[in-house]
Amino acid sequence: MTDGELTLGAVLARLEEREREIAAQAETMREQIAQLTARLDELGRAAEEVRITRKTLLGLPDPPPPAPPAPKLPDHPAYQQIMAVFTAADAPLRARQVCEAMDLEIAPNNINNTRLKLKRLTERGILVETEQGDCSFGAGALPGGLLTELMGAVRVGNQVIRQNLQSAEPPYCSPAPWDWPDLTTCRP
């Protein structure tokens, strides 16, 4: 036999070597398949969780719209007087009746100014216009505590709705009609 010819033992050795190589490659592929299968299972679970979450979210009721901010009473004392008049009233009032309750002179200028103030309070949602020119409190118009504060520190006409005005600690409030109290600095 020459060097170019292979013996049966050499062929068998090469076949055995090739078999080991194929077995090693097959084992590597099985490991990769196991890793990919585990990864595929993880992705399947994640996709299922996303489907469940979407289904849950779609099943939830729509959130209620945010509550509108509470209406804010203008700072001017005239508005505070008007609100005090409405707290004492048991029916809707017209601008003329508000002027009378505030002991203002019944003059067109005073009535028109009061009407404008009533319109502003209506636009802010504090009052409602039940009929043209008739105003009353709106549903939930006064935020908590504002009515009590108004009733405790407002002058209406000749009547001062406040206890112990003269004994109030500084900052004190003057009972003069040109200097009616500001509710933010004056407490009963």
pTM of the predicted model, to two decimals?
0.43
Q: Is 69 left (phi over 0), alpha (psi -120 to 50) or beta?
A: beta
Distances from the Cα of 14 to the Cα of 21, 27, 133, 136, angstroms: 11, 20, 110, 106
Answer yes or no: is pLDDT of 168 > 80. no
Q: What is the reported pLDDT for 4?
A: 59
Helix/strand number for the chain, H first, E second = 5, 4
Annotation: CATH topology of 77-179: Arc Repressor Mutant, subunit A (1.10.10)
Residue 95's pLDDT band (boundaries 50, 70, 90)? confident
Answer yes or no: is pLDDT of 147 > 80. no
Q: What is the reported pLDDT for 109?
A: 92
- Measured in degrees and rounded to the nearest 5, phi and psi for residue 96 equal -60, -45
The percent of the chain in helix, strand and coil, each rounded to the nearest 5, is: 50, 10, 40
Highest mean pLDDT among 3-7, 86-90, 114-118, 124-128 belongs to 114-118
Residue type at position 139: A
Average pLDDT (6-26) is 93
Average pLDDT (44-59) is 95
Token duo for residue 112: 């028109």
User: Per-residue pLDDT tens for 108-117?
Assistant: 998 899 888 8
Q: What is the reported pLDDT for 45?
A: 97
User: Per-residue pLDDT tens for 23-45?
Assistant: 999 999 999 999 999 999 999 99
Answer yes or no: is pLDDT of 123 > 50. yes
Distances from the Cα of 70 to the Cα of 82, 109, 124, 125, 152, angstroms: 18, 31, 9, 9, 20
Q: What is the reported pLDDT for 135?
A: 74
Q: What is the reported pLDDT for 33?
A: 97
Distances from the Cα of 155 to the Cα of 69, 132, 133, angstroms: 27, 27, 24
